[in-house]
Structure 1
Amino acid sequence: MAGRLRAPTGRYAGKSAQERQAERRQRFLDAALQLFGDTPGYRGTTVAALSEAAGLSTRQFYEEFRTLEDVLAALHLQVNDWAEEAVVAAFAAARDLPLADRVAAIFHAYAGNVTADPRRIRITFVEIVGVSPRMEEQRLERRARWVDLICAEATAAADRGEAAPRDYRLPATAFIGSVNGLLHDWSAGWVDATLDEAVEELVRQLLGILRPVGWSPERPR
């Protein structure tokens, strides 16, 4: 299909065309979270099945998206945005806490958001993998945003004398791999631990990166 069909304009039932379009788009994403994140998964879903689950028509689908991959891309970004919002809020709330407490609060917020719905984990760590070069680029771009977030906070902690001064990009990249792997395996039942125990392990790993053996925080002047 060369492009999306033109969406209707004007007001209807007290809502603008833009409001109705946003509602339709969200209904497709909600249906995709269910079908892609559970059964039958992204690869087993058709446009007709997604439209039926959303309670909309295939014509309305093509008014919002060109392909099912476009839906997967939008859903992947939405799931990551939810987690990022939870982390940013945790950062703000824990800003005045000691480093170890801040790290714990942040990762409890992230893990709590991502694992609150098993379908989010599947979208983030399973369904998007290997779909296409475009999806792989998007997955790595979002992963890079998490790396940037850790680097920024680690550097700020180092500037305050709470963490060792160093280039944190390589260890942050390795750590994000640990986060993704552990939470995926935990959600799949491959890790015999509670979520709190999994988060505590991640906190210990990050604190070990920030405060390696032989280094100690500077005393306030």
Structure 2
Amino acid sequence: MATTPLRVYGGVTGSDRQAERRALLLEAGLELLGSPDGDPSLTVRGVCRQAGLANRYFYESFTDRDELATAVYDHVVNEIAATALDAVTAVEDPRLKVRTGLATIVRLIAEDPRRGRLLFSPFLAGTPLTHRRTESTRLFTRLLGTQARQVYGVQGGARLELLSSFLVGGLAQTLTAWLDGDLTASEEEIVEWCAEIFLATSDFPD
């Protein structure tokens, strides 16, 4: 059955308006999920109120609140991963690559703490995002392992997997403590201290 094309109003196509509404819903979801206390009981009504949209517009982009939460999480993870990878790729010096990658990740979280809370907050444990967190950890572990092989010539295998998992998990715990105010340090200190740890592992035995 043919679908009716979305009409053009004020020079903006229906598909563009729909994309704008979806972006508003994603932003609203991030605002609610990434608040200091988190909101695992995210509701369609609450998201639409935050986005300034009628409830009916929610269902043109998402089937339910879990799909929205997953989309918000994936958007944040992909943004951080892509931005960090682009920054690292643009640098040639191996030691500077480490600092650049860490600085990019820390900066993205510092400029919008909602990202960090979405990734690390314990309030979201036991929600559909739990599985996504596991997948994102594996993603960053793979990215780190790839950089270790390409830049430092570290051989793949169980040791590299252990090292990558240890560093990614340690960084996540560090940033969680920093966001919660349990770790008193400047953004620059976080980057420098973590870089020292990451660089110290470049001589990890094969």
The TM-score, its normalising length taken from structure 2, stands at 0.88
Q: Which portions of structure 1, spanning 4 or more consecutive aligned residues, are displaced by more than 3 angstroms?
A: 164-167
Structure with a larger share of its residues in helix: 2
Report the Cα distance in structure 2 between the residues aligned to 1:113 and 1:57, rounded to whole angstroms.
31
Report the Cα distance in structure 2 between the residues aligned to 1:44 and 1:150, rounded to whole angstroms.
33
CA contact (8 A) 1:42 1:72 kept: no
Report the Cα distance in structure 2 between the residues aligned to 1:57 and 1:152, rounded to whole angstroms.
45
CA contact (8 A) 1:82 1:113 kept: no
Report the Cα distance in structure 1 between the residues aligned to 2:175 and 2:156, rounded to whole angstroms.
27
Q: Residue type of the partner of 1:141?
A: E
Map Cα deviations across residues 149-175 of structure 1 (whole Å, 9 max, x no partner): 11111001233xxxx545311110111
Q: Residue type of the partner of 2:112?
A: D
The equivalent position to 1:24 in structure 2, one of 21, 28, 53, is 21
CA contact (8 A) 2:167 2:198 kept: yes
CA contact (8 A) 2:38 2:124 kept: no
The alignment covers a number of residue pairs equal to 201
CA contact (8 A) 1:107 1:199 kept: yes
The equivalent position to 2:53 in structure 1, one of 53, 56, 67, is 56
Q: Residue type of the partner of 1:77?
A: D
Match of 1:3 in 2: none
The equivalent position to 2:95 in structure 1, one of 93, 97, 100, is 100
Residues 62 and 204 of structure 1, relative CA distance in 2, 3 Å threshold: same
Report the Cα distance in structure 1 between the residues aligned to 2:109 and 2:10, rounded to whole angstroms.
36
Map Cα deviations across residues 51-83 of structure 1 (whole Å, 9 max, x no partner): 111111111112211221111111111111221
Residues 195 and 100 of structure 1, relative CA distance in 2, 3 Å threshold: same
* Percent identity for Structure 1 against Structure 2: 25
The TM-score, its normalising length taken from structure 1, stands at 0.82
Match of 1:33 in 2: 30
Matched, 1:121 2:116: yes
Q: CA RMSD in A?
A: 2.2
Report the Cα distance in structure 2 between the residues aligned to 1:28 and 1:40, rounded to whole angstroms.
20
Q: 1:8 Cα shift? A: 7.0
The equivalent position to 2:182 in structure 1, one of 171, 190, 193, is 190
Residues 171 and 39 of structure 1, relative CA distance in 2, 3 Å threshold: closer
